[in-house]
Structure 1
Amino acid sequence: MSPLRWIYIGLAVWGAIHPMYYFMSYMAENGWSLGALIDAWYVNDSTTGLTWDLTIAAITLTIWIIAEVAVRRNWSALIAIPATYCIGVSCGLPLYLFLRSRPVA
């Protein structure tokens, strides 16, 4: 595996673990309500802006993945879409780049 692919998979793992630590810490302190967590993303203009920034990035990444999968027929790369929405762009994007950069058979 190339060094670049190792970097991509490392970033995907980091992007899954690091943000999730903060989400779980918040939920442990404030109750295990997903609704309360989402409400916290809109407490001020700064967090609202960041939430919209990541939402737009996630939608853009999804469109890119679907467009490339339709051409390249790399169906396994579709796993990056649920990773993006269930974990975050910080996991979904490097995961997609990892899956996309594998040698074509």
Structure 2
Amino acid sequence: MLYFAPWIVENGFDLQAMVALWKANDMVTGIYWDLVISAIVLTVWVISEVWVRRNWLALLAIPATWMIGVSCGLPLYLFLRAKPVR
């Protein structure tokens, strides 16, 4: 958010402009797709394990992943997953 907040203050919350910047060149596009694929895989993993373990609190990792990032969602999920299986 340290980098997003100043951009949002300067340009407003223009989602189309933000997505256009994510596809500005091949390097940025590669990083963008790497993070999107990682977030999708993490979401599928969380849902599949929550389905088996019935640890509903661990679903908080999904919005954390998509709103903050994989680097927040994954550690949060691993922390919430530490609860023993019933």
Establish whether TM, by shorter chain, passes 0.5. Answer: yes
Whole-Å separation in 2 of the counterparts to 1:59 and 1:99: 19
Please list every run of 5 or more consecutive structure 2 residues that lacks an aligned counterpart in the other structure.
none
Q: Residue 39 of structure 1 aligns with which residue?
A: 20
Pick aligned residue for 1:96 from 69, 77, 85: 77
After TM superposition, the structure 1 = structure 2 runs for residues 1-105 of structure 1, keeping only pairs within 5 Å, are 20-103=1-84
Give the residue type in structure 2 aligned to 1:97: L
Give how far 1:33 is off. Answer: 1.5
User: Which sits farther off after the overlay, 21-30 or 90-99?
Assistant: 21-30
Q: TM-score, normalised by structure 1?
A: 0.74
Whole-Å separation in 1 of the counterparts to 2:50 and 2:12: 39
Count of residue pairs brought into register by the alignment? 86
Q: Identity, % of aligned pairs?
A: 62
Give the residue type in structure 1 aligned to 2:64: A
Question: CA-atom RMSD, angstroms?
Answer: 1.5
Give how far 1:22 is off. Answer: 0.6
Whole-Å separation in 2 of the counterparts to 1:34 and 1:24: 13
Whole-Å separation in 1 of the counterparts to 2:39 and 2:21: 19
Q: TM-score, normalised by structure 2?
A: 0.88
Give the residue type in structure 2 aligned to 1:59: I
Question: Deviations 1:41-70 (Å, cap 9, x if unpaired)?
Answer: 110000000000000000000110011001
Please list every run of 5 or more consecutive structure 1 residues that lacks an aligned counterpart in the other structure.
1-19
